Copies of this chain bind each other. A is one copy, B any other.
Amino acid sequence: MKKYRLSELTAGEIRRLCQRNPIDDEEIVSVCRFIFQAVAEKGDEAVRSFTLQFDGVEIDEFRVGADAINEAVQETAPEVMTALQQAAANIRKFHSAQQIPEKPVETQPGVTCWRASRAISPIGIYVPGGTAVLPSTVLMLGIPARLAGCARIILCVPPDSEGKVSPEVLAAAQIAGIRQIFKVGGAQAIAAMTFGTESIPQVEKIFGPGNRYVQTAKLLATFHGVAIDMVAGPSEVLVIADETASAEFVASDLISQAEHGGDSRVVLVSTSEKLIEDVLGELHKQAAGLPRENYVQASLSEGLALLAESLDEAFDFSNRYAPEHLILNVDDPRQYQGLIQSAGSVFIGPWSPEVAGDYASGTNHTLPTSGMARAYSGVSMDSFVKKITFQELTPEGLRSLAPTLEALARIESLEGHRRAVSIRIEKLDEDESDG
């Protein structure tokens, strides 16, 4: 961990500490453009050849059959099925509560406006393979999608070296109610869902994590009218801790983040110099011998341990950093809620490790990274619907709004707009004088 005293840093130095993971990499963009063009032109044939090239495996049939899904569920250990089901139940409960119907609003007499939600369909979910099997991501995206009413859900997962998908991922898909699963990964999966191929359907919105190629491909997809959840960079945690925090707990939270990969970001901000030293000692102890110790060490060596003069200064830095995960390990933590301006998800107090939200408390783990929490929210029910506005005016409503509409049309020099109103008012006048 790199140690700094916040009060000794200049504004520019703080800005640099907060900068991370630029996505604008020309080389990756041009590789992704090439893949997009090939998939747009050649469909399955191109996807097959990129799969051979990048995943090292030949795939004839991308779609995972119903038999394979059923087998996977049989193969999955009962305690894993139970865990997936409990996680699913909590995710369902938290996300259901986000569906709040809105009432129509009469903005002025005779002018009624309202909004209604409609599910987006088809949608595409991307779940990475690589160094970790991620059934939790299948639940985090699949469950709210089903709750929102997305009629068609496409899941793409890269095949392993034997051309298979892990049984737990398939079991999670079964629990989430996803049946269209395709063995395809990387930028070619995103391209396939953007354009559609002979076997992989075109979708309206693409969700999910992935490496820089996948994320850049998602950005390119937006140029073709496909929406995306967000660009997801490496995972991050920022812990704010005071002298009352347990160094053991804090170290375990930093490590659980660091083990995601060498590019994971871990930041500790504390008002206690002693706590920082204790945490550093604990990190050393706890990291030793972990199966993914190499990732942990790589990530920790780039980590930040920041001494703050006050909790205000700590929250101020955290808001600038806008971490994906923010853990509050301070005395009476709830009182600081209002100070938090930018973060993906917040974990309050010593008994709320980030792992709870990663898996099973009910909140979504698809969260803004790389400082994007300044402007983006994590995935929620909102992500799977579009909200349509409606309005209905009565003749009286239109009449009372007409002078305003006509005046504004006039300033904007849009005579046709003005006439769409005046033609109706003339009709109302006629009808009245007839009556």
A2 CB–B CB distance under 8 Å: no
Chain B residue at smallest Cβ distance from A230: B227
Q: Given A223-B23, A409-B355: A113 and B84 within 8 A (CB)?
A: no
Instruction: Indicate which residue in B84, B223, B361 contacts A107 across the interface (CB closer than 8 Å).
Output: B361
Q: Tell me the complex Cα distance, A226–B375, Å.
A: 8
- Could you say how many copies of this chain the assembly holds? 2
Chain B residue at smallest Cβ distance from A397: B351
Q: Tell me the complex Cα distance, A279–B136, Å.
A: 55
Contacts of A392 in B (CB 8 A): 334, 347-349, 351-352
Instruction: Indicate which residue in B292, B334, B337, B354 contacts A415 across the interface (CB closer than 8 Å).
Output: B292
Contacts of A103 in B (CB 8 A): 97
Q: Tell me the complex Cα distance, A80–B390, Å.
A: 26
Q: Smallest Cβ distance from A94 to chain B, in angstroms? A: 5
Q: Tell me the complex Cα distance, A343–B223, Å.
A: 20
Contacts of A102 in B (CB 8 A): 97-98, 100
Q: Given A340-B388, A374-B120: A90 and B107 within 8 A (CB)?
A: yes
- B219:A222 contact, CB within 8 angstroms: yes
- B90:A408 contact, CB within 8 angstroms: no
- B342:A411 contact, CB within 8 angstroms: no
Q: Tell me the complex Cα distance, A387–B362, Å.
A: 15
Which residues of A from 279 to 300 have beta carbons under 8 Å from B? 286, 290-292, 296
Contacts of A249 in B (CB 8 A): 420, 423-424, 427
Instruction: Indicate which residue in B168, B204, B393 contacts A352 across the interface (CB closer than 8 Å).
Output: B393
- B416:A296 contact, CB within 8 angstroms: yes
Most chain B C-beta atoms within 10 Å of own C-beta, residue among A286, A387, A416, A421: A416
Contacts of A134 in B (CB 8 A): 412
A199 CB–B CB distance under 8 Å: no
Which residues of A from 226 to 252 have beta carbons under 8 Å from B? 226-227, 231, 246, 248-249, 252
A389 CB–B CB distance under 8 Å: yes
Chain-B contact segment, one of A46-54, A182-190, A253-261 = A253-261
Q: Tell me the complex Cα distance, A30–B370, Å.
A: 26
Contacts of A231 in B (CB 8 A): 222
A407 CB–B CB distance under 8 Å: yes
A12 CB–B CB distance under 8 Å: no
Contacts of A391 in B (CB 8 A): 345-348, 352, 356-357, 361-363
**Complex A-B: 10 CB contacts under 8 Å:** A93-B107, A118-B341, A227-B375, A252-B419, A255-B419, A286-B416, A353-B420, A356-B401, A359-B409, A376-B386
Residues of A within 8 A of B (CB): 22-24, 79-80, 82-84, 86-87, 89-90, 93-94, 97-98, 100, 102-103, 105, 107-108, 111, 113, 115-116, 118, 120, 132-136, 168, 204-205, 219, 222-227, 231, 246, 248-249, 252-253, 255-256, 258-260, 286, 290-292, 296, 334, 337, 340-364, 368, 370-378, 380, 382, 385-395, 397-398, 401, 403-405, 407-409, 411-421, 423-424, 427
- Beyond contacts A136-B408, A360-B404: 16 other A-B pairs, Cβ-Cβ < 8 A, are A23-B223, A90-B111, A93-B107, A113-B363, A120-B375, A259-B416, A259-B417, A296-B416, A343-B388, A345-B391, A351-B397, A354-B420, A359-B404, A359-B405, A360-B401, A373-B388
